[in-house]
Amino acid sequence: MNRISIFTFIFFVWTAAFCSSAITSQGHQRDYRDLEGYTSHNHSRRYGHKRRRSNDDKPHGASTIDMPRPHVGDYWTEQILDHLDKYDARATFFVTGHNLFLDRRIDDEDSQWPGLLRAIHEAGHQLGSHTWTHKHLENITREDVFDEMIFNEMAFRNVLNLVPTYMRPPYGAWRDENVQSDMQALGYHVVMYDVDTKDYKHNDADGIEESIRVFEDAIARNGTGSYITLSHDIRQWTALKLVPAMLKTITERGYKAVTLGECLNDPWVNWYRYPDN
């Protein structure tokens, strides 16, 4: 059976504003340069090591299916999770950690976001980084690029005590050689997609039918091939119509919806790192 990996973003913040300090789970501001193990000037760091665990310690559901998920705590995200559960599907959610416009942080323990992230992780879905404040990485300094990634790592650490090794660059901007080398230095797999449903252009009951058609036309009817599909979980009609339609099509055509890591045949132990104590 061939596999489809459908993933979404967790958009806590759409703006390109820069946050100069990270927030710990206790609510205190700390500059990442104060963290033990981080060297600020040349960005040589031992912040995290590749995760290694035995198969006996495997989280429930991680070996089955995966689909899209993030933008934590949003009502439509909850709807999408319900659809995924119904089909025993798994998704990968790329998370932006700090939505400056809505003043949301994924590690704010007084909010619903940490609990939602933990629930996504425990359900066997994969989590990845979509940067701290959704900046265009090719339009900022290299220092700011590291800020965007490391601030998000700190937020993930605060919530899950894990750091993702997969990242999706905002606006799909990844071709710049400096961005590529920086992501490599930080230990990230840079992820793009095969099928863009463009659901962000069709957020109404009739318009979302176009996104459904895009998906159905892109996926082979005979169940051959593997695909990485992009959609956005914070969209009402993505939750109400697009995701159910995609799951139905995946099932009818003989595919299996899996996490991105599984779709790429990457062992699940490589999807995260443990941060240094």
Spell out the per-residue pLDDT of the chain, length 277, in tens: 666 555 443 333 222 111 112 222 222 233 333 333 333 333 333 333 333 333 333 322 222 222 333 343 467 888 899 999 999 999 999 999 998 877 889 999 999 889 989 989 999 999 999 999 999 999 999 999 999 999 999 999 999 999 999 999 999 888 899 999 999 999 999 988 889 999 989 989 999 999 999 999 999 998 888 888 999 887 889 999 999 999 999 999 999 899 989 888 899 899 999 987 4
Q: Is 52 a member of any domain?
A: no
Distance, in Å, from the CA atom of 124 to the CA atom of 110, rounded to the nearest integer, reads: 24
CATH code where residue 11 lies: 3.20.20.370
> What is the tally of structural domains in the chain?
1
Q: Is 48 a member of any domain?
A: no
Q: Tell me what pLDDT residue 205 has.
A: 94
Q: Tell me what pLDDT residue 30 has.
A: 32
Tokens of 242: 């697009």
Burial label for 223, CB within 10 Å (0-12, 13-18, 19+), is middle
Task: Report yes or no: 33 and 40 within 8 Å, Cβ to Cβ.
Answer: yes
Q: Tell me what pLDDT residue 57 has.
A: 34
Q: Is 33 a member of any domain?
A: no
Q: Tell me what pLDDT residue 27 has.
A: 28
Q: Is 22 a member of any domain?
A: no
Q: Tell me what pLDDT residue 237 has.
A: 92
Q: Is 187 a member of any domain?
A: yes
Q: Tell me what pLDDT residue 1 has.
A: 61
Distance, in Å, from the CA atom of 276 to the CA atom of 20, rounded to the nearest integer, reads: 22
Q: Which residues span the domain enclosing 120? A: 3-15+66-275
Q: Tell me what pLDDT residue 233 has.
A: 83
Beta bridge partners of 93: 8, 127
Q: Is 223 a member of any domain?
A: yes
Q: Is 248 a member of any domain?
A: yes
Q: Is 135 a member of any domain?
A: yes
Distance, in Å, from the CA atom of 277 to the CA atom of 275, rounded to the nearest integer, reads: 6
The runs of H, that is alpha helices, within the chain are 75-86, 113-122, 142-160, 177-185, 208-218, 236-237, 243-252, 260-263
- Amino acid letter for position 199: D
